[in-house]
Chain A
């Protein structure tokens, strides 16, 4: 079974609109963390946002928010007021375990294109 599933290979959004990128995860570890990274066409990986499994509130970072639904094992990324510069690949990732090696597993990514 896939640890991290991103079911949307590609998405379009109109500039200034909000968009939700889906991510579901699978783990039996009670302690885990969820991340989103952005990869623009230039190729670098940029950290966007982090949510810990014990965090009570959804994480927010500027225009990015993580809609964490623990019972449904989903960690969707919401980008508000989309900008042209948001066009990129977006990867959801999960860290499992405490101490020692904490395995990080990445999803296959969603390519977001913002339309002017």
Chain B
């Protein structure tokens, strides 16, 4: 099994629908992140969490919310999806003080 698992891997939905992307990890890392990747823009940080009681906005948090249900679980929600939220979404984890991010395989979301 992957260290960082994202579900679903692919999702097509319609404008206005609520969508949840889930992330679970077996790395035992405290820190978890949600990134969005768009062609030509690289990866941009949506939200990050240092522990279960710590949630922080990243550079593009508008239109998104997150929940850290447990140390190993961090979910991203789009309350009312819009077409410009069509993107590849990555969950990542890291240890406190460590440098390297461990990424999940990505969740490709298409909003029609």
Residues of chain A touching chain B, judged by Cβ–Cβ distance below 8 Å, are 4, 9, 33, 35, 37, 43-45, 47, 50, 52, 91, 93, 95, 99, 101, 103-104, 106-109
Contact = CB atoms under 8 A, between A and B. Distances in A.
Nearest to B43: A106
A52 B44 CA distance: 22
B40 A108 contact: yes
B56 interface: yes
Interface of A is mostly: strand
B101 A104 contact: yes
Contacts of A99: 97
A107 B42 contact: yes
Interface of B is mostly: strand
Interface string B73-112: 0000000000000001010100001011111111010000
For chain B, which range describes its interface: under 10, 10 to 19, 20 to 34, or 35 or more residues?
Answer: 20 to 34
Contact of A43 (B45, B101, B102, B106): B106
Contact of B99 (A95, A103, A107): A95
B99 A44 contact: no
Q: Which of B97, B101, B108 has the most CB of A within 10 A?
A: B101
Interface in B11-55: 35, 40-45, 48, 50
Q: Which of A37, A45, A103 has the most CB of B within 10 A?
A: A45
B99 A50 contact: yes
Contacts of B44: 106
